[in-house]
Amino acid sequence: MFVASLDAAASIATARLICHRDTWQFLLDHTVRHPHFRVPDRVTDLAGGRTEAFLSGRSLLAVLVTTRDLHREGAADPVGRALAGTVHKRARQAVADTGPGAPGAYTGRGDEGNPEVTTIVLDDRPVPAGS
């Protein structure tokens, strides 16, 4: 499953990440040491303390590898383990929704006919009352 996620991520040009600025800082603190991670040119503050960052495919690969390693080795830091595990899971889910064979996937010609970008969101909200 991990190797398949890496293979799928390798064909993604850009991935959009939306998370709280503290989660973004956690990712930067750990992933910046990975040789394939590049700090994105485009990072925007959003409402509610959230951050939107556009990662290159190469940086997305570094995020997948780093968060998997942190999650596996995180016994000494349960908070870091939980954050890394959640980021890793969401990134894998987003990557799984792309590429050949994925439901509704569009591949091969960039944004021609499909302006969507692979998006990873870490912003769970409660279900509205009455739903």
Q: How far apart are CA 67 and CA 72, in angstroms?
A: 9
Phi, psi (degrees; rounded to nearest 5) at 130:
85, 5
Decide if 131 is inside a domain: no
Decide if 72 is inside a domain: yes
**Average pLDDT, whole number, for the chain?**
87
Q: Give the domain range for residue 52.
A: 2-121
Share of the chain above pLDDT 90, in %: 67
Decide if 53 is inside a domain: yes
**Cα four-point dihedral sign 32, 123, 83, 106:** negative
Confidence (pTM): 0.84
Decide if 96 is inside a domain: yes
Q: Answer for the pair 105, 97: CB distance below 8 angstroms, yes or no.
A: yes
Q: What is the pLDDT of residue 108?
A: 46
Average pLDDT over residues 43-68: 96
Decide if 52 is inside a domain: yes
Per-residue pLDDT tens over the stretch 98-118: 765 554 444 444 545 555 889
Domain count, the chain: 1
Decide if 130 is inside a domain: no
Decide if 73 is inside a domain: yes
Q: What is the pLDDT of residue 32?
A: 96
- The DSSP code for 76 is G
- pLDDT-based confidence at 128, cuts 50/70/90? confident
Beta bridge partners of 83: none
- pLDDT-based confidence at 52, cuts 50/70/90? very high
Q: What is the pLDDT of residue 107?
A: 45
Per-residue pLDDT tens over the stretch 4-35: 889 889 999 999 999 999 999 999 999 999 99
Per-residue pLDDT tens over the stretch 64-86: 999 999 999 877 899 999 999 99
